[in-house]
């Protein structure tokens, strides 16, 4: 099984990347938490990998930190939670927020993530509450160097952000409204920043 990839980042989108390893391009599904930390295409990248084998396909899921990968493995061990929902969980909240929500029985916060209903959230809490204690510190996290990036156009940012949110399960109309609102706020116009602000707006609307 593939557990780690180190190579050149050929392309990146909000929910997937292609990594060139010695001339072979590996397509890897990623959560937004990993996307936020990726450098520009053409740079060197290292990802921790979970290999998911199905009857008709082999899919790779990549993470920037060992902690994220460990959370993902814990999530998909819960009945009814597959890799797609595991990625959505890591995209909907930070690792610290997820751990805190599970440890504190915060059903309301967990069910804000698309695809996570009350029963799924309850299973997460029952099955993983004790395991979260081992992941409640950042000891497994690695520092990720931040580099300056060239800002894409607003149209490209909007398109990539919309694709990312829809892949995570948000309805197109709701995602478009959140993105437009995030862009109108001003500030950093990058896909990473707009996705973060859009997710906060989507969460606050659901709470309201």
Q: How long, in residues, is the chain?
A: 208
CA–CA separation, 204 and 169 (whole Å): 17
- Spans of all domains in the chain: 4-63, 66-135, 154-207
154-207: what fold?
Helicase, Ruva Protein; domain 3 (1.10.8)
CA–CA separation, 130 and 122 (whole Å): 14
Q: Which CATH architecture has domain 4-63?
A: Beta Barrel (2.40)
Give the per-residue pLDDT at 164: 82
Looking at 3.30.479.30, 3.40.50.880, 1.10.150.20, 3.40.50.150, the CATH number of the domain 66-135 comes to 1.10.150.20
pLDDT tens by residue, 13-49: 989 999 999 999 999 999 998 999 998 999 999 999 9
Mean pLDDT, residues 77-95: 91
pLDDT tier for residue 143 given thresholds of 50, 70 and 90: very low
User: Global pTM?
Assistant: 0.72
**Statement: residue 153 has pLDDT above 80:** no
Q: Answer for the pair 76, 82: CB distance below 8 angstroms, yes or no.
A: yes
Is residue 107 helix, strand or coil?
helix
């Amino acid at each position: 099984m593939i557990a780690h990839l180190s190579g050149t980042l050929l392309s990146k989108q909000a929910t997937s990347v292609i990594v060139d390893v010695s001339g072979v391009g590996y397509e890897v599904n990623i959560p937004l938490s990993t996307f936020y930390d990726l450098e520009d295409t053409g740079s060197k990248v290292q990802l921790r990998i979970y290999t998911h084998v199905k009857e008709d396909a082999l899919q790779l899921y990549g993470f920037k930190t060992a902690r994220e990968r460990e959370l993902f493995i814990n999530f998909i061990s819960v009945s009814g939670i597959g890799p797609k929902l595991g990625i959505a969980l890591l995209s909907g909240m930070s690792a610290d927020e997820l751990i805190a929500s599970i440890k504190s029985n915060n059903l309301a916060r967990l069910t804000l993530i698309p695809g996570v209903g009350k029963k799924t959230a309850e299973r997460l809490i029952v099955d993983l509450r004790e395991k979260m204690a081992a992941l409640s510190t950042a000891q497994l996290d690695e520092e990720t160097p931040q580099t300056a990036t060239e800002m894409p156009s607003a149209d490209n940012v909007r398109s990539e952000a919309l694709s990312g949110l829809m892949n995570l399960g948000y309805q197109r109309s709701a995602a478009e409204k959140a993105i437009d609102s995030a862009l109108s706020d001003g500030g950093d116009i990058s896909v990473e920043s707009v996705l973060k602000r859009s997710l906060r707006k989507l969460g606050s609307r659901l709470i309201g």
